Amino acid sequence: MNPSNPPQAAEYGGDEVSAIVLDPGYSTTRAGFAGEDAPKSLIPTYYGKYNVDGQEKLVYGDEIYVNPRPALSIHNPMGKDGIVEDWDMAEKVWEYSFTSRLLGTKPGNPFQNGLNDIPAEELPTEMEVETEEKPLADSPLLMTEPAWNPAKAREKTIEIAMEKWGTPAFYLARNGVLAAFASGKASGLVVDIGASNISITPVHDGMILKRGVQHSPLGGDYVSSQIRALFKKNSPQPITVTPHYLVSSKSPVEAGQPPQAKYRTFPADKAPDASYRALVEERTLSEFKECVVQVWPGPNKLSATGPTGASNEDMARSSPGRPFEFPDGYNQVFGVDRFRVVESLFDAKAAIPDPDSSVPAPTQAQTIPELIKASLGGVDVDIRPHLLSNVVVTGGSSLLYGFTDRLNHELQQLYPGPRVRISAPGNTAERRFGSWIGGSILASLGTFHQMWISKKEYEEHGANIVEKRCK
């Protein structure tokens, strides 16, 4: 499409309809209209499966939390590295995210709406009714992807958007670039702490510097596994997380005392799958992360000695603890331990060992300072100072209390010369939905229209046009 010529009638160049921005992640999928400041639809990427009379049923969105159906098992179409593994289910979850909240109900068959009841003596006229209407026939779609998304997955994405959803125009943008746009920068070093992984993306003039992209699996779910390891080691007795659906009533107890609660039990044929319990426990752990967990703000590691000669752990002990009550009424005040669960994001030696955990112990190369070092090592020397003065922090797990202070200290120790400036919005929505907001800004710009891949171009060039156009 030549930007100097007006678009042809069959080409998409329109301003008439707001585009939809879809930002799928491992933990949640966000969707909304371009130009708005937060996604209207926020659903878990997980979906549930259960059987009724031998038929398999699927549950999406917040429905999965509502009632523990018999043998309900929880699955995720995305892999831990943010790449789609099950395309059929990913398509259904994404489609649910925008059809459930963003699109109005489609007109039904006019013969069945009661307004066209035909008297018995009159014969019905043949009416042509379009039964198969595609959900995005009127809305262009901007989707996000991780910087390491393989070419095959990108082609599959445009195929689904054009052929299954019938969108008139499509664009695939990288998470890192969009997060930088959301904080008003065309260049910067984007530190994205998500649920399943951490990624460091250097962006220069709106383009990703591929050699500098780094990612590691120490995201929010890893922090949850560290919290579980901490609970196992708790004395006098380990803490067990009992989800709400298993507690029928509880009485208040003093801090540290065993819970006084009545529990619900499910017969074996009525009980949900273990994956359901794990998902609901994860919600309690998320609450724990939000209310209790703190990052040691620095300077230096938690295990080091501070400038006064006292160890940082002693300093942490002297700060007041934070209380937390579990769903079964058990409560406790957490002191220095609340710093320990996240310390291994910065110092691999500080990881709490847990032989039963499915998450492997972290290596030093997977920690945030090492990832940033490796990322900057992969880009041109001349632009490093510019990237360091524009460090953009985004992702839901970056909201841990004290995270940005610690990151600032770590970077100043690594790079004492250049001026390190961290841009981390204080507004939680802006931090959680960074890449969605960037997509919303981008898709609503007038100058962005020449970037869309129109349906006509897709039909002419096939799915691999996405490789040429979405750099």
Residue 392 dihedral angles phi and psi, to the nearest 5°: -105, 125
Q: Express each pLDDT in 434-462 by its tens digit.
A: 999 999 999 999 889 899 999 999 999 99
Domain 219-361, CATH homologous superfamily name and number: ATPase, substrate binding domain, subdomain 4 (3.90.640.10)
Q: Can you give the pTM of this predicted structure?
A: 0.90
Amino acid 129: pLDDT: 47
State the virtual CA torsion across 331, 337, 339, 343 in degrees, nearest 10. Answer: -130
Per the model's pLDDT, the better-predicted residue between 1 and 291 turns out to be 291
- Report the mean per-residue pLDDT for the chain: 90
Q: Looking at the predicted structure, is the pLDDT value of residue 320 above 70? A: yes
Q: Looking at the predicted structure, is the pLDDT value of residue 399 above 70? A: yes
Amino acid 268: pLDDT: 87
Amino acid 407: pLDDT: 96
Q: DSSP per residue over 250-306, as a string?
A: EE---TTSPPEEEE----TTTPPPHHHHHHHHHHHHHHHHHHT-B----SS-TTSB-
What is the pLDDT averaged over residues 57-62?
94
Which tokens hold the place of 150? 């393989």
Distance CA 96, CA 90 (A): 10
Cα–chain-centroid distance for residue 269? 34
Alpha helices in 38-171 (DSSP H): 63-66, 87-99, 151-159
Q: Looking at the predicted structure, is the pLDDT value of residue 233 above 80? A: yes
pLDDT > 70 in the chain, percent: 90
Q: Express each pLDDT in 131-186 by its tens digit.
A: 567 888 889 999 999 999 999 999 999 999 999 999 999 999 999 999 999 999 99
Q: Which H helix or E strand runs over 141?
A: strand 141-145
Q: Which residues pair with 413 in a beta bridge?
A: none
Tally of CB atoms within 10 A around 258: 11
What is the pLDDT averaged over residues 47-76?
92
Is 42 within 8 Å of 21 (Cβ atoms)?
Answer: no
Distance CA 282, CA 243 (A): 9
Q: Looking at the predicted structure, is the pLDDT value of residue 324 above 80? A: yes
Amino acid 110: pLDDT: 58
Distance CA 134, CA 150 (A): 27
Q: Looking at the predicted structure, is the pLDDT value of residue 111 above 90? A: no
Q: Looking at the predicted structure, is the pLDDT value of residue 346 above 60? A: yes
**Strand pairing class (214-216; 198-204):** antiparallel
Q: Looking at the predicted structure, is the pLDDT value of residue 10 above 50? A: no
Q: Is the dihedral of CA 7, 11, 16, 19 positive or negative?
A: negative
Q: Express each pLDDT in 121-133 by its tens digit.
A: 655 555 554 556 7
CA atoms within 13 A of residue 59's CA, in its CB half-sphere: 19
Which tokens hold the place of 133? 């209407």
